Structure 1
Amino acid sequence: MAIGFDYGTANCSVAHIINGSVQQIPLVGDDCYISSTLCAPTAETVSEYLFRCLNIRPANEVGDAVLRRAIQMNRDEGIEVIPSDVLFGQQALDLYLEDPKDVYYIKSPKSFLGTIGLRDMQLSFFEDLVCAMMANVKHRAEARLQQDLTQTVIGRPVNFLGRGGDASNDQAEAILLRAANRAGFKDVAFQLEPVAAGLDYESTLSEDKNVLVVDIGGGTTDCSFIKMGPSWAGKLDRTGSLIAHTGQRVGGNDLDIYIAFRRLMSAFGMGTKRHSGLDIPVTQFWNPIAINDVQAQRKFYAHENMKELKMLLKEAKESDKVARLVKLHQDTLGYAVIREAEKAKIALGEADQYRVFIQLISEQVDVDITRSEMESAIDNPKQKIKALVEEAVKQAGIQPDVVFMTGGSARSSVLRQAVNDILPTTPLVAGNYFGSVTAGLARWADICFK
């Protein structure tokens, strides 16, 4: 059986076609979505877990080296890896929030794919993370359907990163392919996520239209200008229908990061000065919450950076606030801060004001945010998204008949208004914000693997 697999930055979901209709496959009880998170005692646990608990071997010599290193480090730490050591989705988040400093936690490893300049062993480790998540989703779906799943179409953004070009995209797609093969998928194809979302919308059309698909996901925003309708439905060769594509790594994660940076990090000392009058480097406040930047995370949580933070603590005028930054480092609380920023973003879609509660080990930090402050905080990523829409229309050379918006972050009234500002006379429509890509991937799988 062939499935569509949305390996998303925020969530993973899968679907298949039954009697011509899309059926999403529940993964956690009756829930069809599992958040793209993983938690384990250590990072090294993940590689050994694949080998020892799932019988999934490395794909190459570099992977073998990563596995050998992981096994040795786990032995040195006295860790005997068992299946329950690696958790996914809400279980992973719950364990992290319970004791952040004593676990390895990662959200959205898809955000790291395509990063240029990483060593082969780092890339191989990211492959292990993706493979573990894919294997978890595959096993859950197979348990629900009571049959093996060996064929899949996986969604991918137009561009995994805003820089790196084809080399970046090729690297990321190769990691996804190897991870999927190792997880047990024998036949794997890829489809652009905005095209997949468009295929689902196309199933509702009774006449041909020029459609601009704007897919604002957790990690990327992608725009595809596509000819759609009965003339194209069901065709394997869609080359003539694809008019223009734009995409960049800017999405829901970036909105959360900017809200945290602009509105929450002042509680951790951003804006305070040293007694000498010099500023504290702004990177000390950006790096801990830049969860989609592996280099930034490494720099902040490095052991040597703690020495720098303690020196800043002695020199800071508002040492009580900088002490929280030290605590953030000690307890690896960057993801917890981002989670509170995300909750604020969602709440301020309806409310005019929201109070954020950041729970440190020793105290609770409260910060009030208004809707206008939130909108101001996310102006940078909003402008990037507007630029992608404008570029797609420019490339197409024609105006769309309709704009189809999808992706979890497309629910934002701020972003919907931003798109409307560019195309004020074009109707904006939406389907299933979270499920359109998955449904379109399932439709494409049904065409590809007939």
Structure 2
Amino acid sequence: MTLACGLDFGTSNSTFARVDQHGHPQLLGLEDGKPTIPSVIFFGFEDDSLHFGRQAVAEYVTGAEGRLMRSLKSVLGTGLIGDTTRVKARSYGFLEILGIFIGELKRRAESELGEGVDSVVCGRPVHFVDDDPVADAAAQSQLEGAVRAQGFTHIDFQFEPIAAALDYERQVNSERLALIVDLGGGTSDFSVVRVSPERARATDRSADILATAGVHIGGTDFDRLLSMTKVMPELGLGTMNKDGKRHLPVAPYYDLSTWHRINRLYNAQTLRDLRGTKREARAPERVEMMIELIEDRLGHRLVGAVEAAKIALSDVEATEFAFPVRERSIETVMTINDLTTALASSVERIESTIEETLRRAGIGADAVDSLILTGGSTQVPAIAGRLEALFPEADLVRTDVLGSVGLGLAMDAKRKFGG
């Protein structure tokens, strides 16, 4: 018998789900019984071991020697997909690393189920790459190739916001017009969908999807923007050369704030360039700390600390940020206002994409009955507050922000493959 599952391979977290014998979708335990696993791999140098998810993060944070890789989904469809990263004496391509992680998800799911899985519906954003259909198609093809290489024989795709709608539909008792807002680690997707108990039983739901749109903005972009606004200035961003005629180059600061670009800084040429920048800088001590940070390969840990500060600002008005670099420390205070300011341009793009989604559906905001929020980034106050203000008359539905897409994908897999 074909066993079909839904795979939500996310930029930040991943889930695997199936529909049980009673017709109920359920998330599988992927790490210590937990249904979500951070999309992270740690290559241990001491014993050539591989660690995944929370264990990978724990190994890294405790100072084990190795290489941490995350946000792998973000490179799909981009020029970075052909890059390699060195792990001791071996170079790995990003697609190979992505496949290693997906293969581990499959292994853990099969262990939980006690049988093999050969059919899968994978979630995908509405746009892997903005305004580039060729790159977008390439991204799906790349992901499909990585999934097929792990032993799946039947593979299909479903938009992540549609999967969230399928999950939400289980609780409705009348027809509703829903706007699904899916803000993940790498993308923000929006869909206007008609949902009802009767429609839920249909195999083909294409006529119920009135409009979809997406933009390549997500939680990792929020981390980068907060880092560029509050952390990188402590390392010299925005300061002048000694002659006062120009600012220091922006590119290395951007790379240091972008998870999948950090490895590009770990080379002799970058350090030579930064030492040249230090000699010309009006605030050389700041650039010196950046040099030390790169020499000690602390870039990924720094971005992780910024992400933790962003998450903390979901519950507090301000948080103190302190990140040690040898004998010194990067220190600043981050506030909700700082985060809101840093994300202003992203919020505008999200709003304009929502407006475009409504325009494509031929409706106004007042026609939306249910505003369904899914994805971890919907918990950021600057985002959530603005979304609620845009749809004051709609019922606000907060789903299992990390699990609803996987549950919907499992339901879609049941429809498409049976099992």
TM-score by length of 2: 0.91
Q: Distance in 2 between matches of 1:118 and 1:95?
A: 26
> Pairwise mapping of residues 247-326 of structure 1 onto structure 2 (< 5 A)?
247-277=214-244, 278-292=246-260, 294=261, 297=262, 300-326=265-291
TM-superposed CA distance for 1:449, in Å, is 0.9
Find the counterpart in structure 1 of residue 410 from structure 2.
442
1:330-385 CA distance string (max 9 Å, x none): 22322222211111111111211101121324433322112211211121222221
Shift of residue 410 of structure 1? 0.8
Distance 2:319 2:307 in 1: 12
Match of 1:37? 40
| In 2, Cα distance between equivalents of 1:39 and 1:397 | 47
CA distance 1:121–1:348, shift in 2 (3 Å) = closer
Tell me the SS of whatever aligns to 2:149: helix
Query: How many angstroms apart in 1 are the aligned matches of 2:173 and 2:120?
Result: 28
Aligned length: 405
SS at match of 1:183: coil
Rounded to whole Å, the distance in 2 between the matches of 1:344 and 1:261 is 14
Tell me if 1:230 matches 2:197.
yes
> Counterparts of 2:257 and 2:251 in 1: how far apart (Å)?
10
Return the offset for 1:428. 2.2
CA RMSD in angstroms, aligned pairs only: 2.1
Distance 1:299 1:175 in 2: 22
1:41 CA displacement: 5.2
Residues in 2 aligned to 1:106 and 1:301: alpha-carbon distance in whole angstroms: 14
CA gap of 1:410–1:282, structure 2 versus 1, over 3 A, is: same
The partner residue of 1:13 within 2, 12, 15 is 15
Structure 1 gap ranges (5+):
43-78
Q: 2:68 is aligned with what amino acid?
A: Y
Identity value in percent: 29
Structure 1 residue 117, shift from structure 2 partner: 7.8
Say whether 1:87 aligns with 2:90: no
Greater Cα offset, 369-378 or 86-95: 86-95
Gaps spanning 5+ residues in structure 2: where?
A: 86-91
Instruction: Please state if 1:407 is matched with 2:407.
Output: no
Please point out which of 156, 161, 164 is paired with 1:197: 164
Name 1:353's counterpart in structure 2: 318
SS of residue paired to 1:308: helix
Q: How far 1:299 moved relative to its partner?
A: 5.2
Query: What is the letter of the counterpart of residue 95 of structure 1?
Result: E
Query: Quick check: 1:222–1:248 contact (8 Å CA) kept in 2?
Result: yes
- Provide the secondary structure at the position in 2 that maps to 1:380: helix
CA distance in 1, matches of 2:248, 2:80: 28
Report the counterpart of residue 302 of structure 2 in structure 1. 337
- CA displacement, residues 281-340 of structure 1 (integer Å, 9 cap, x when unaligned): 122211211225x4xx46544432211100111222222211111122222322222211
Amino acid paired to 2:350: I
1:370 partnered with 2:335: yes
SS in 2 for 1:386: helix
Cα distance in 2 for residues equivalent to 1:247 and 1:267: 34
Contact 2:42/2:67 (8 A) holds in 1: yes
What does 1:123-162 correspond to in 2, within 5 Å? 125-162=93-130
Give distance in 2, aligned partners of 1:392 and 1:334. 37
Q: Distance in 2 between matches of 1:438 and 1:347?
A: 26
The residue matched to 1:203 in structure 2 has which SS? helix
Contact 1:288 1:301 in 2 (8 A): no
One-letter amino acid matched to 1:8: G
